[in-house]
Amino acid sequence: MSKLSQKPLSQNSLTQASPVSERFKHVRATSRELGAPLSDADATVQSMPDASPAKWHLAHTTWFFETMVLKPNLPGYEVFDESFNYLFNSYYETIGERQPRPMRGMITRPHLDTIYAYRDHVDAAVETLLDRGASPTVAELVELGCHHEQQHQELLLTDILHLFAQSPLKPAYRDPQPLGVGAEPGEARFVSFDGGIVEIGHDGEGFAFDSEGPRHRALLEPYRLADRLVTNGEFIAFIEDGGYRDPLLWLSAGWADILANKWDKPFYWSKRDGEWWTMTLRGAQPVDRDAPVTHLSYFEADAFATWAGKRLPSEFEWENAAAGLSMDGNFAGSGRLRPKPAGPSSDGTLRQMFGDVWEWTRSPFSPYPRFKPVEGAVGEYNGKFMCGQFVLRGGSCVTPEGHIRATYRNFFPPDARWQFSGLRLAEDA
């Protein structure tokens, strides 16, 4: 997930505390709602080193507001618990030592109830600070904290899915829900783009993470982009054609993962009586052949594209195609919590550009021309992760509404599979 940093906001964008206060209250309430179905045990267990317990997500986002906003800016603020700076710091080297990431599941104390008390304590203090009339700098920090928390809301859901998938009971995070029956998405059509010199990156209006800028020019060759995401049914055809057994389809590092991990299907898939099933946030369910395939690594997405005689788009091609499109989509607020089949096809119209699944691109996560991290602790994240990661675009079915932009650059290592990640095909024109 695109990590915590910030492109400076315009000075008049957040001068009023009221909109920031309302956003803060909404984001904080949403996190509490996401945690409501979880027991203390659910929220404590860490299912793998790359995942974090829900309790940690709820506390870490609170720690951000306490450490970055309250301690420097609210005179007389009383820290809730001094030990939390060690327990719930993430990667901030400049702030101090912290619990090792693979050991976050060892934080059995404090109890989940104490974490909610911590959130209440910090929420009240932030609202006091905003009620006094926040400076633009403080308002920007609160806005940054809200976007940071929305990232962790998505991570909380992906990490809970991974945890529940390890249980022999395969519990549902939300009540099971039957798959809807709708029109088939139809064959993918390819939409043509002329290429040329295009403007890429955030334009400076409103919030963005620092890795989304500076805005700059990029040269694109003419290309075509599929009008919808690749479906489960299409990926099943890849499996049945021996896609996981043909080394010629795979990058060398991906083939090494095939051999080492015995990958032969997307993450969370299994077979029952000859039918494909998958684990979802609504429990184990039959694979919907018309819905977008998800929980793929970059290696699997690239191998499928090679098998299909196509390729993955670059992130610049994707952003150029997405510019000006409506950002409506199947996000977390829909309550579906799983990808949805594409709507009806229309010539020349791209579908599913936002929501459903994060789309792997062929682009490494690297700095744009003239990129410089912001100063201070909040600038520690994006720049130092610009090695060994690939960019994903568009958001997913567990991304909060209002959090995504056409310029938003998510990033993960190429073997990551537990995220809601899929693909859209591209080809040269």
| In-domain check, residue 179 | no
Q: Would you say how long the chain is, in residues? A: 429
Q: Is 344 found in the same domain as 222?
A: yes
Q: Is 96 found in the same domain as 51?
A: yes
Specify the CATH number for the domain of residue 358. 3.90.1580.10
pLDDT at 183: 72
Q: Is the pLDDT of residue 348 over 50?
A: yes
| In-domain check, residue 92 | yes
| In-domain check, residue 4 | no
pLDDT at 16: 42
Residue 279: HSE in the Cβ half-sphere, 13 Å Cα cutoff: 25
Q: How far apart are CA 334 and CA 329, in angstroms?
A: 9
Q: Is 218 found in the same domain as 273?
A: yes
pTM of the model: 0.93
Tally of domains within the chain: 2
| In-domain check, residue 391 | yes
Peptide bond preceding 171 in cis form (omega within 30 of 0): no
Q: Is 397 found in the same domain as 250?
A: yes
**Domain enclosing residue 84, as ranges:** 17-166
Residue 94 carries which DSSP code?
T
| In-domain check, residue 171 | no
Q: How high does pLDDT run on average in the chain?
A: 92
Q: Is 152 found in the same domain as 235?
A: no
| In-domain check, residue 2 | no
Domain boundary residue, one of 150, 166, 182: 166
Per-residue pLDDT tens digits for 27-80: 999 999 999 999 999 999 999 999 999 999 999 999 999 999 999 999 999 999
Domain boundary residue, one of 131, 166, 201: 166
| In-domain check, residue 181 | no
Q: How far apart are CA 34 and CA 61, in angstroms?
A: 14
Residue 420, helix vs strand vs coil? coil
Mark out the alpha helices in 132-200 (DSSP H runs).
136-166
Residue 355 carries which DSSP code?
B
Per-residue pLDDT tens digits for 176-232: 887 776 678 889 999 999 999 999 999 988 899 999 999 999 999 999 999 999 999
| In-domain check, residue 265 | yes
Per-residue pLDDT tens digits for 125-161: 999 999 998 899 999 999 999 999 999 999 999 999 9
- Smallest Cα–Cα separation from 63: which of 123, 105, 13, 12? 123
CB 158 within 8 A of CB 398: yes
Q: Is the pLDDT of residue 12 over 50?
A: no
Count helices and strands in the chain by DSSP H and E runs: 11, 12
Q: Is 349 found in the same domain as 299?
A: yes
Q: Is 113 found in the same domain as 199?
A: no
Q: Is 267 found in the same domain as 358?
A: yes
Q: Is 216 found in the same domain as 73?
A: no
Q: Is 363 found in the same domain as 322?
A: yes
Q: Is 215 found in the same domain as 148?
A: no
Q: Is 204 found in the same domain as 159?
A: no
